[in-house]
Amino acid sequence: MGNGRLTLIAAALPPVRGTLKADAPLAPLVWFKAGGAAQWLFEPKDAQDLSDFLARLDPDVPVMALGLGSNLIVRDGGVPGVVVRLGKPFARVEQVDATALRCGGGASGILVSSTARDAGIAGLEFLRSIPGTVGGFVRMNGGAYGRETCDILVEFDVVLRSGEQVTLSLDALDYTYRHSSLPQGAVVVSAIFRGVPGDPAAIQAEMDRIASAREESQPLRSKTGGSTFKNPAGHKAWALVDDAGCRGLQLGGAQVSEKHTNFLLNTGDATSADIEALGEEVRRRVKAKSGVELEWEIQRVGIKSPLEPLSQGKDT
């Protein structure tokens, strides 16, 4: 990204207590290991640091939260504005009562489910299988193995784009399948999840079963982005992709997984353009074969090339 643009925004950027980096590569932070840079990458020291920053930031500057980067295509032209990444200060998980945990927005599903196990709290085992953070679970109603975030979420703390800090309940999200009404630019900084009393040994056994099922069916050791398309009503996305003859289909350095056809892979040198174009080709072939219009589950963010104007920003 041009230094001119960076300098213009830098003059108006509020001070921070965390870290703020210009032109920060995002490829190392996302599972596909592809894509451009964030114009600015902000890792706040705490929720107040984030709140103060957003309150003073020009409202026209776009803001995007980044979790583990597992369900994300960052386009090759990078992400304009500010990308907020919640680091260690937001990765804590604490027990609230006998069946509830307060989880930082940056805490991983593995940490949450393991803490629940140690506390004898059942019902959160499915989080073990989702490669993401609490903030992403809340925003996307993350789920797997028959359970979703809406089944366990009590309330959550969020910093709005205006900088206002609010606590909201489950009902505020208007959850549907892998979607919520959380406003653009809002960042979930913590959430309370509630389970039921359980035996730690039984909880661990269920977590082991889930981990084994994932290992057997998904290309976990590849550079991938998780489930690419939402399951349409009455269908499984992977079956539609397979039936359309897309298993193993390649475009540039991108490939449809042979192991699980709802996963796209970076075989080594794929650009984000390769990955997104392959996904669109899969959608075209599925539509032609079955008449079903697949919807992206993976979020696609940023601009396709540095030559595009910043106003074209995000398209998900």
For CATH 3.30.465.10, list the domain ranges present in the chain: 90-216
Class of domain 3-88: alpha beta
For CATH 3.30.43.10, list the domain ranges present in the chain: 3-88
For CATH 3.90.78.10, list the domain ranges present in the chain: 227-297
Active site residues: 178, 227, 297
Q: What is the pTM of this model?
A: 0.87
* b/e code 1-10 from CB counts within 10 Å (16+ = b): beeeeeeebe
**Cβ-contact 160, 185 below 8 angstroms:** yes
* b/e code 279-309 from CB counts within 10 Å (16+ = b): beebbebbeeebebebebbbbbbbbbeeeee
Classify domain 227-297 at the CATH topology level.
Answer: 3.90.78
Q: What are the pLDDT tens digits along the chain (316 aa)?
A: 444 455 546 667 899 999 999 999 999 999 999 999 999 999 999 999 999 999 999 999 999 999 888 889 999 999 999 999 999 999 999 999 999 999 999 999 999 999 999 999 999 999 988 888 999 899 888 887 788 999 999 999 999 999 999 999 888 898 877 778 888 889 999 999 999 999 999 999 999 998 888 777 677 667 888 889 999 999 999 999 999 999 999 999 999 999 999 999 999 999 999 999 999 999 999 999 999 999 999 999 999 876 444 433 333 3
- From the candidate CATH numbers 3.40.190.10, 3.30.1360.180, 3.20.20.70, 3.30.465.10, the one assigned to the domain spanning 90-216: 3.30.465.10
- The neighbour count for residue 147, using CB atoms within 10 Å, is 17
